[in-house]
Amino acid sequence: MADVAVHRSITTEFMKGIVRDNPVFVQVLGMCPVLAVTTSVANGIGMGLATTFVLVFSTLIASTVKGVVPNQVRIPVYAVVIATFVTIADLVLKAFFPPLSASLGPYVPLIVVNCIIMGRVEAFATRNRPGISLVDALGMGAGFTLSLMVLGAVREVLGSGALLGVPLFGEGFSPMLVMILPPGAFLTLGILMAVFNAVKAKNDPVLIRT
């Protein structure tokens, strides 16, 4: 993957994060925030963008300093870098978006243990140049954010009868409470994952056989 990836086009590298290697529906990474915060679209966008921010800067730094960092302390160094950006993201949210910060609660600091970040740093950034690593991180971040938005939209519409906080139905609508509770997260994720993979398999006949 290492050298081949460098030669692939920027578009392919970006798009793979959204479809082929989608972090949520294909790689099934970072399930804790995916399931926990997607009770609304706003939460999904907030969590997606915060994760993308951490992912972009962590992979950028990891791919830049990879030659200097001795192999034995690789993981601790990346962990410190990731934790630093997570703390910055948390402080910025607290300072400029207090309501969003309150509704995401402990899940912002928990980005530090999101496997997408360490996963991309280890699997991609340490083997590729900063430029293409940035594209990879942006693609993965976009895929993560879009997935969280879709999950958030389904759950908010069914569970709260609203989209982005705007009520969609009249007074008589009785929301499906289960959708904003934990079981709703698993149900929605499972159904969306099935749909995603069905569509993906249709366009890629090789997948059906494997």
Q: Which residues bind another protein (CB under 8 A)?
A: 39, 68-70, 72-73, 76-77, 80-81, 83-84, 87-88, 91-92, 94-96, 98, 105, 159, 175, 177, 180-181
Interatomic CA distance for residues 28 and 123, integer angstroms: 15
**In contact, 87 and 130? CB cutoff 8 Å:** no
- Angle, CA 56 vertex, CA 45 and CA 135 arms, to 5°: 100
If the CB atoms of residues 71 and 210 are measured against another protein, the closer one turns out to be 71
**For another protein, the closer CB: 65 or 193:** 65
Least separation in angstroms between CB 70 and another protein: 5
Nearer to another protein among residue 1 and residue 177 (C-beta): 177
Contacts of 17 (CB under 8 A, 6+ apart): 23, 136, 138, 139, 140, 141, 142, 143, 144
By beta-carbon proximity to another protein, the closer residue of 32 and 177 is 177
Q: Count of residues for the chain?
A: 210
Nearest approach in angstroms of CB 101 to another protein is 9
Query: At its nearest, how many Å lie between another protein and the CB of residue 162?
Result: 13
